[in-house]
């Protein structure tokens, strides 16, 4: 017998962080003990515009940061900071009102250091030549599954 599957729509995302050691250039307001600059992000694997269904992404940083709850309301849903240590970043993805969906709540371990030679850390050669900058990246793929979306939201998902 053929089984009737309930309707669900999934959308791929990637989330994670890039980081690199700060060399010569530092943001003027960066505390002296900060050694790295990093960016945490939520985005579409092919650069899709996630704002068609995501209203905001809230990144909750370590309590050592001033105003650790950072809300990003427009794409790109990313945040760049400086720091010295790795920690768990709490990510909350809030969907547009039409979705009538609960937010997604998960964690990403902010990665600053290369752990293994030749593995993930990508050595990017500066286009100008001279010093190679070692950028580490920790990135994960996931699919957001909307089960039985309401009609309005379904239309929005299908038209984007």
Question: How far is Cα 96 from Cα 68, in angstroms, rounded to an integer?
Answer: 23
CB of 85 to ligand SLL, least distance (A): 3
In the complex, which residues of this chain contact ligand SLL (CB under 6 A)? 31, 62, 64-65, 83-87
CB of 70 to ligand SLL, least distance (A): 13
* Closer residue to ligand SLL (CB): 28 or 47: 28
CB of 64 to ligand SLL, least distance (A): 4
CA dihedral in degrees (147, 150, 156, 160; nearest 10)? 20
* Closer residue to ligand SLL (CB): 65 or 154: 65
In this structure, how many other beta carbons lie within 10 angstroms of the beta carbon of residue 121? 19
Note whether 146 and 99 are within 8 A (CB): yes
* Closer residue to ligand SLL (CB): 66 or 129: 66
* CA diameter of the chain: 67
* Closer residue to ligand SLL (CB): 31 or 129: 31
E strand residue ranges, the chain: 8-21, 36-43, 54-60, 69-72, 77-83, 88-95, 104-109, 122-125, 132-147
* Closer residue to ligand SLL (CB): 14 or 22: 22
CB of 139 to ligand SLL, least distance (A): 20
The one-character DSSP state at 46 is T
CB of 49 to ligand SLL, least distance (A): 31
């Amino acid at each position: 017998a053929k089984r009737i599957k309930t309707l669900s729509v999934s959308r791929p995302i990637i989330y994670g962080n890039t980081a690199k050691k700060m060399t010569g250039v530092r943001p003027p307001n960066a505390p002296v003990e900060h050694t790295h600059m990093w960016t945490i992000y939520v985005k579409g694997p092919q650069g899709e515009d996630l704002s068609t269904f995501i209203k905001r992404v809230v990144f909750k940083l370590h309590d050592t940061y001033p105003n650790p709850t950072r809300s990003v309301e427009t794409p790109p849903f990313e945040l760049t900071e400086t720091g010295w240590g790795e920690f768990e970043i709490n990510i909350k993805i809030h969907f547009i009102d039409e979705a009538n969906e609960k937010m997604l709540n998960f964690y990403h371990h902010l990665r600053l250091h290369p752990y293994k030679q030749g593995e993930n850390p990508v050595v990017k050669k500066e286009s100008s030549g001279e010093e190679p900058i070692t950028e580490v990246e920790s990135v994960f793929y996931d699919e957001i599954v909307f089960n039985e979306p309401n009609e309005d939201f379904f239309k929005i998902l299908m038209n984007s």
